[in-house]
């Protein structure tokens, strides 16, 4: 094989590895597709393809689980928050915990589980889902309990109270979702230490 072809193959493999590190697997596959099968890099190309496939599958699993993991963390934290009522926490403390601290933790955890090796926009949605849903669950349960504790009198408007519960739940859920989503997307694109084995230096000469 001509030396020029070998040089080109080496460059394609290097570009493929870079693409993998950037999380652009399609580009990596494309680069690997340009490598001549008869070149000395054929074996490395094969191994790299296997590696990409494994990473893709792992990412796929993490991505599907991430919102649920974040939701679990959020619900757990809100459960702890429920030990005291908002009045007992006092307004500012409760607002800080319910609308900022817990959604931020839930959102960041979701993003961490999802993996930081993707765009911010891609991480925003699962983080927002996790934080928002956890707040919705917290709100619904606490509103039900709070309304239950108020003795219903002849003059009470139960329908109106239900409407208020619905509006509050949606509004608080949205706020928490936005905060959690932002927390999840806050960290910039990062290459995971796991990818260190994808050396940019090719083994061929």
Partner 1 sequence: MSEQTLPQSNALDDVSVHVEERANGDLSVYISGDLQFDTRDEALYHELLVLPALSIIRNRRSAPIRLLICGGGDGLALREALRFPGVEHVDLVDCSETVVSLGRTRFSELNNHAFEDPRANTIIADAWDFLSRIRGGETESYSAVICDFTVPRRRGDSRVYSKEWYEALKSVLLPEGIISVNSMSPQGTPEAFACLMKTMQAAGLSAVPIRLCIPTFHEHGYGVWSFTLCGSDLRRSDLSAIECPVALRQANFSGLEKSAEFPPLHLESTPVNTLLRDALLPLLLNPGTGSLRLTESVEPTPNGMPFDLEPLIASIPILHPYHTRAMIDTLAEHVAPTIRGLDIRRLVDELMARAARLPERFRRELARVRDFIDCHVDNVDGWMNWSYRLFAILFIVITIANAMTPDAAFAKGGFGGGGHGFGMGGGSGIHAEAAAAPTHVTESGFRQSISANSATDLAGHTYQSEAFRYRPSYWGYGGYYGPGCWGYHPYGYGRYGYRDYGDHRVRRPAEPTKHAPQPKEEQHQSAFVVAKDLLVMDNGDIVVKLTDRAYLLVLEGHVSLMSNESQEPVVPLYPDPRLISAISDELNHQKSSLQHEVDVRSDWLTWVGWTESFIPAIKNDETEFKNLKHLSHSLETAIKRLGKTPTGAFKEEATSFGDVELFAGCVLNADSTVRFHLENGHWLILNRDKVHVDSMSLTTQAPTGLGRVLPGIISRRAIETASDLKALDRQLRDLENDRASLVNDRKDYDSIYSQSGYDGNYEVDYGTEEISVSEAIKRTVNDLDNNQKDMLDATAIHAKLESESLTLSRAAEVYGNR
Shorter beta-carbon distance to partner 1: residue 62 or 165: 165
Phi, psi of 24 (to 5 degrees): -95, 85
**Residue 195 lies near partner 1 (rule: CB under 8 A):** no
Shorter beta-carbon distance to partner 1: residue 55 or 143: 143
Shorter beta-carbon distance to partner 1: residue 58 or 144: 144
The answer to whether 91 touches 134, Cβ cutoff 8 Å, is: no
**Residue 165 lies near partner 1 (rule: CB under 8 A):** yes
- Residue 97, classed as helix, strand or coil, is helix
| Token pair for 101 | 């601290």
Q: CA-to-CA distance for 114 and 121, rounded, in angstroms?
A: 12
The residue with tokens 């928490």 is: 176
Candidates 39-47, 80-88, 108-116, 123-131; binding stretch for partner 1 (CB under 8 A): 80-88
Shorter beta-carbon distance to partner 1: residue 40 or 161: 161
| Residues between 119 and 158 with contacts to partner 1, criterion CB under 8 A | 139, 141-143, 145-158
**Closest by alpha carbon to 114, among 50, 60, 159?**
60
| Residues between 82 and 111 with contacts to partner 1, criterion CB under 8 A | 82-83, 85-87, 91, 94
The answer to whether 74 touches 130, Cβ cutoff 8 Å, is: yes
Q: Which residues bind partner 1 (CB under 8 A)?
A: 79, 82-83, 85-87, 91, 94, 139, 141-143, 145-161, 163-165, 167-168
């Amino acid at each position: 094989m001509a030396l020029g072809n070998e040089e080109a193959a080496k460059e394609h493999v290097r570009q493929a590895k870079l693409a993998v590190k950037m999380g652009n697997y399609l580009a990596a596959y494309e680069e690997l597709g340009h490598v001549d099968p008869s070149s000395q890099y054929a074996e490395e190309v094969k191994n790299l393809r296997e590696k990409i496939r494994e990473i893709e599958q792992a990412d796929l699993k993490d991505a599907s689980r991430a919102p649920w993991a974040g939701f679990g963390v959020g619900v757990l934290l809100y459960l702890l928050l429920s030990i005291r009522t908002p009045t007992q926490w006092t307004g500012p403390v409760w607002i800080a915990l319910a609308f900022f601290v817990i959604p931020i933790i839930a959102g960041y955890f979701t993003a961490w589980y999802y993996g930081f090796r993707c765009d911010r926009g891609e991480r925003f949605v699962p983080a927002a889902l996790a934080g928002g849903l956890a707040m919705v669950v917290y709100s619904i349960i606490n509103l039900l309990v709070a309304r239950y504790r108020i003795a219903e009198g002849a003059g009470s408007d139960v329908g109106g109270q239900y409407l208020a519960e619905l509006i509050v739940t949606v509004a608080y859920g949205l706020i928490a979702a936005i905060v959690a989503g932002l927390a999840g997307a806050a960290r910039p694109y990062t290459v995971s230490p796991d990818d260190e084995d994808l050396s940019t230096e090719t083994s061929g000469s």
